[in-house]
Amino acid sequence: MTAAVLDSWVITQRALAHWGRQPGRLAFGLAFNVMIMLMFAFLLGGAMKVPGGGDYREFLMPGVFVMTMLFGIGETVTSVTTDADRGVMDRFRSMPMAGSAMVAGRAMADMLYSAVGLIVMVVCGLLIGWRWHGGFAAALGAFGLLLLLRFALVWIGIYLGLIFRSQQALMAVQTLEFPLGFLSSAFVAPATMPAWLAAVAEWNPLSSTATAARTLFGNPGAATDSWITSYAVPMAISWPVVLVAIFFPLSVLAYRRLSR
C-alpha cells in the first residue's frame, strides 16, 4: 500500500513538473474560465432573472465553480491521450510499480490543478461582488462538494483518454462539455425552463452540486419544490460517489489492458 502511494506521488510530481515547464497552457485554461464568468456576469447577466429574486451574479458564481470543475475534464483527457500516444504509459507499465499508480498519480495532479483553478475563480467572484452568506464552515462544505465533483470527473476523463487514446477523445469531450453544462442549473434556473426540460436539468449531477453550493453559500436560486433540489446536498455527495465507483475500476482496468 505504501509503495503504491509513493509510486502515485512520483507520477504526480512528473505532471507538476510538466506544468511548470508549460505555464502558458495552464494560464490559458484559467483565463478561459474567467472569460466565461465575465461573459455571463456582464454581457448576458442583465437579461437573466433569478426566481424568487436576488442578484444574478451571486446566483451565477456557484454555477461557474461547477463549470470550472467540468472544464477540467479536457485537461485530464489531453494529458492521458498524450502519454498514451507517446508510449509513456507503456514504459511505466514495464517498470516495477503499482498498476494503479499511473492513473492515481494523474488524478492527484489534476485535483491539485483544480484546487488552484477554484481558488482563482473564488477570487474573481469576490472581485465582481459575489459573497457567501452561510458561514465559513458551510462555505468549506460547498468547496468540498465542488472538489468531490471534480474528483469524479477526473476518473471519467482518465477512462475516456485510455479508451480512445487519441485527440478525437478530447474533441468529443470538449464538444459535450457545453451542452452538459448548459443543460443544468449552472447558468439558468430550471424554473425558467419548460417543465420537461427543467426535469432533465434538475437531474443533471452538475445541478445537484450547483444547487448544494448555492444552499451552503446562502446564494439565491437554490429553493424549488422538486424532490431532487430539496435534497441537493445529499445528491451532490451521492452522484460523485456513484461515478467514482463506476469509473475508477474501469480506468484501472483500461490502463492494465493498454498493451493487449
218/134 Cα distance (integer angstroms): 5
- Written as tens digits, the pLDDT of the chain (260 aa) is 566 677 677 778 877 777 677 777 778 888 999 999 999 999 887 778 888 778 899 999 999 999 999 998 888 888 888 777 777 666 766 666 666 677 888 888 889 989 999 999 999 999 999 999 988 999 999 999 999 999 999 999 989 888 876 666 667 777 788 889 999 999 998 888 898 999 999 999 999 999 999 999 999 887 777 889 989 999 999 999 999 999 998 988 888 776 55
Residue 243 domain-assigned (yes or no): yes
- Is residue 206 one of the residues assigned to a domain? yes
SS3 per residue for 186-241 = CCCCHHHCCHHHHHHHHCCHHHHHHHHHHHHHCCCCCCCCCHHHHCHHHHHHHHHH
237 falls within a domain: yes
Which of 145, 237, 221 is CA-nearest to residue 185?
A: 221
Backbone angles phi, psi at 224, to 5 degrees: -140, 180
**Terminal alpha carbon distance of the chain:** 26
Nearest to 78 by CA among 25, 31, 13: 25
Report pLDDT for 169. Answer: 63
Q: Range of 116's domain?
A: 2-9+55-256
Q: What share of the chain is helix, strand, coil (3-state, %, to 5)?
A: 80, 0, 20
The amino acid at 11 = I
The secondary structure of 134-167 as a DSSP string is S-HHHHHHHHHHHHHHHHHHHHHHHHHHHHH-SH
Flag whether 239 is in a domain. Answer: yes
Residue indicated by cell numbers 488524478:
107
For the whole model, what pTM was predicted?
A: 0.90
46 within domain boundaries? no
212 closest CA partner among 158, 147, 159, 256:
147
Give the other-Cβ count within 10 Å of 148's Cβ: 19
Residue type, 233: V
- Give the separation between CA 192 and CA 197, rounded to whole angstroms: 10
Q: Evaluate whether 151 touches 240 at the Cβ level (below 8 Å).
A: yes
Number of domains in the chain: 1
